[in-house]
Structure 1
Amino acid sequence: MFGQTPLRHVGASTFNPPNPDLWPATLPPVRQILAEGLDLGPATVFVGENGSGKSTLVEAIAMACGINPEGGSTGAMHHSRPTESGLHSHLEVLRNAGTSRYGYFLRAETMHGFFSYLEDNPKMRGRDIDFHRLSHGESFLALVTDRFRGGGLWILDEPESALSFSGCLSLLSVLTQLVDDGDSQVILSTHSPMLASLPGADIYEVGSWGLRRNGWDDLELVKSWRSFMDAPQRFLKYI
């Protein structure tokens, strides 16, 4: 069904409620989603400091949709050392009727193992991109441009860690086109002000307050980068 995104809402499961006293339910953004739920538009961006819970959220949403926590498409089976939380089992995702159930999850920290999995399980018999022969950034972009096509759910966890400035621009172009097509949905966690500028995205700052929706210009992330770029020495003298 063209024009509808796969997911419309994520919230707490009515059949398997979490223990509110156990991690990760104790994380403020997780607690907020479990209590209030979150409506999902064509693009959702989470920004925040390390440890704030944004990666925990996107990982759990991916798993609740049947996507491998270490990356790949719906149904991918590879595992190395499991580190994911059990949050997905306490989430309920509401889908729009008739939309694609295909999804893809990319997380920079597991890419090396994921490329090995793809090497052992090529897209076509004996034929696929030789990801290990490319640089980290080149391989990441090659995967995105090759796999991110058509309608579906596209989830990315801090992809900027693999990418240069121009690489982030290339990724932003791909994600913008997916959203513009109307039947794709992007969920992204990032430290990059460039990626956070994804057109039409609902941006949420993640922190001790939980989740707060904000405009790109008003993000602490953007303000901090602008301040540093205007006068690096003001920051460097304190490190």
Structure 2
Amino acid sequence: MFLKRIELQEDKITSHDTYPFTIPAIQSLQKLELKSSVTFFVGENGSGKSTLMEAVADKCGFHTAGGGRNNTYDVEASESALGDYIRLSWLPKVTSGFFLRAESFYNFASHIDAVGAADSYGGQSLHNQSHGESFLSLFLNRFHKKAIYLLDEPEAALSPQRQLSFLRILHDLSASGECQFIIATHSPILLGYPGASILSFDDGDIQEIDYEDTDHYQITSYFLKHREKFLKKILED
């Protein structure tokens, strides 16, 4: 682990009535301790998990639309609203890593084509691969040791089978003791990674919860066990 703590700098905030401080989980943020080499952020859309991850990426010097420290390209409205208000505590500090943002990955892929760097991503344009293949090419070719990786909904392009493939990549890198991952996800498959910390952004604060206590696990498990009953209740009630 490298990043140990994320802290909100209250003295810099001039108004709690403006975004992103109107988000309950961000309002309640004081010091967030990271205890594992793999940390998951979970919560409903709008709960603040992507906002905080984007701010961490900004403080790391990564492109907030996706990329590392050396990726420079223009994307409208890609600035972090929270980056100037948090402090990161490192031991030791690392400067290598990557921020994956699923919703703007197309822009990153176009940037790689523009700078002629496709050879570093498996030898072909990320645009010439399926969405899932391009994500796996990124994980296999760009992710290395002694780095921090921030992934915002990586499952967006991954089938269940490829999510399992990603878990193997995650294991091989994190087991080395030289990689740290923070992953915002809705995937019950990814959340099942052993030994990870799961931080929930629901209910107005950020708290660590067990895998079995996540909505992702409970809803998926209930659906698989009681599919007909579940669908009848939703569709007919």
TM-score (norm 2): 0.91
Structure 2 gaps of 5+ residues are none
Q: Does the alignment pair 1:11 with 2:13? A: no
Alpha-carbon spacing, 1:124–1:159, altered in 2? closer, same or farther (3 Å): closer
1:139 counterpart residue number: 134
Larger CA deviation: 198-207 vs 65-74? 198-207
Q: 1:119 aligns with which of 113, 120, 135?
A: 113
Q: CA deviation at 1:19?
A: 2.6
Root mean square deviation of aligned Cα: 2.0
Q: Does the alignment pair 1:169 with 2:164? A: yes
**Are the equivalent residues in 1 in contact too, given 2:5–2:34 (CA < 8 A)?**
yes
2:196 counterpart residue number: 201
Q: Does the alignment pair 1:100 with 2:80? A: no
| C-alpha separation in 1, matches of 2:61 and 2:154 | 21
2:49 counterpart residue number: 54
Structure 1 gaps of 5+ residues are none
Larger CA deviation: 117-126 vs 200-209? 117-126
Q: CA deviation at 1:85?
A: 3.9
Q: CA deviation at 1:84?
A: 4.1
| C-alpha separation in 1, matches of 2:109 and 2:22 | 34
Supply the AA of the counterpart residue of 2:15: N
TM-score (norm 1): 0.90
Identity within the alignment, %: 34
How many residues align? The count is 232
User: For each residue in 1:31-65, what CA deviation from the matched residue of structure 2 results, as whole angstroms up to 9, or x when unmatched?
Assistant: 222xx210123121011111211111111111111
- SS state of the match for residue 209, structure 1? coil
User: For each residue in 1:153-188, what CA deviation from the matched residue of structure 2 results, as whole angstroms up to 9, or x when unmatched?
Assistant: 100001111110111111111112221111211000
**Are the equivalent residues in 1 in contact too, given 2:38–2:182 (CA < 8 A)?**
yes
| C-alpha separation in 2, matches of 1:71 and 1:47 | 20
- SS state of the match for residue 207, structure 1? coil
Larger CA deviation: 205-214 vs 143-152? 205-214
- SS state of the match for residue 141, structure 1? helix
